Amino acid sequence: MRKGTKRLFVIVLLLLSVFMIACGKTGETPPPENGNGSPPQEQVKGEILLSTTTSTDDSGLLAFILPEFTKDTGYDVKVVAVGTGQALQMGRDGDADVLLVHAKASEEEFVAEGHGIERFDVMYNDFILLGPEDDPLNLKEEAGSDIVKALSMISEASKTFVSRADDSGTHKTELKLWEEADIEPEGSWYVEAGQGMGAVNQMTDELQGYTISDRATYLSMIDSLELDIVVEGDTKLFNQYGVIAVDPNKNDKINAEGAQAFVDWMISDKAQGLIKEFGKEEFGQSLFIPNAK
């Protein structure tokens, strides 16, 4: 081999080695995240089971805040979104670690009976009465912000009303309002769906009837619904959410440490700030108002 050719060959080999080393460094695979955007597996402390209402899930709130919780604490969260009544029952049965629900009287009873450690306010929004955009009963003018009067008018006219009928916080509020109106809702006009809030809003839209919804779920679906808010602003429609760690003495499967971490994080300044910001960019308003003390 000629001297010049040999020198060129050595230079090419050196350049090739440098190139392979550089590619090896830039091609290194970063530690993988899990499906929830969680830390690498070696940093994950464990999993907690959160039993919560469908409104926190349907509205998109959980998808917004839970990755931050996992990043901050190392706990993955498995979510079971059901009606508040069913969520509380899961707590009673020891089938959940922590609850995020919205039926304050039932929650306080749950704690008083020894099923939960302590209840904390987290956030609130409000319930609204939804109806067809043309408002055939003219509830906006005739009832104003009086939800009891609006329900009485719906009953008298036998206009379709779709009920959650699932022992959720929304359903509990609805039943309390019918009771206040001294009405036993029954008949073909009263449709008991047994479904979550998103499904009920869709059903109400298809039937062009009325329903009581939490504001957050309605706003998150507004572009797909031909429903309008016909009654709002009544103090009876206030909707408070609370968080409760389940009593770990129920069984040895309950992740007490993870549950307490979730409670502490939900009432922390960071979580309260995230809740306050949720929905502002898309809807021009917060879908939930933080109010942890």
For the chain, domain boundaries: 43-125+240-290, 126-237
Q: At what angle do helices 84-92 and 169-180 cross, to 10 degrees?
A: 120
Distance CA(209)–CA(40), nearest Å, equals 48
Q: CATH number of 126-237: 3.40.50.720, 3.50.7.10, 3.40.50.970, 3.40.190.10?
A: 3.40.190.10
CA distance 57 to 81: 7
Q: What is the DSSP letter of 215?
A: H
The two domains 43-125+240-290 and 126-237 share their CATH topology (first three levels equal): yes
Answer yes or no: are the C-beta atoms of 137 and 153 closer than 8 Å: yes
Neighbouring-strand partners of residue 161: 190, 210
* Alpha carbon distance 84, 160 (integer Å): 24
Pick left, alpha or beta for residue 82 (phi over 0 → left; psi -120 to 50 → alpha; otherwise beta): beta
pLDDT in tens, the chain (293 residues): 444 444 444 344 444 444 444 444 444 444 444 444 545 544 678 999 999 999 999 899 999 999 999 999 999 999 999 999 999 999 999 999 999 999 999 999 999 999 999 999 999 999 999 999 999 999 999 999 999 999 999 999 999 999 999 999 999 999 999 999 999 999 999 999 999 999 999 999 999 999 999 999 999 999 999 999 999 999 999 999 999 999 999 999 999 999 999 999 999 999 999 999 999 999 899 999 999 98
* CATH topology assigned to domain 43-125+240-290: D-Maltodextrin-Binding Protein; domain 2 (3.40.190)
Name which of 232, 214, 210 is nearest 133 in CA terms: 210
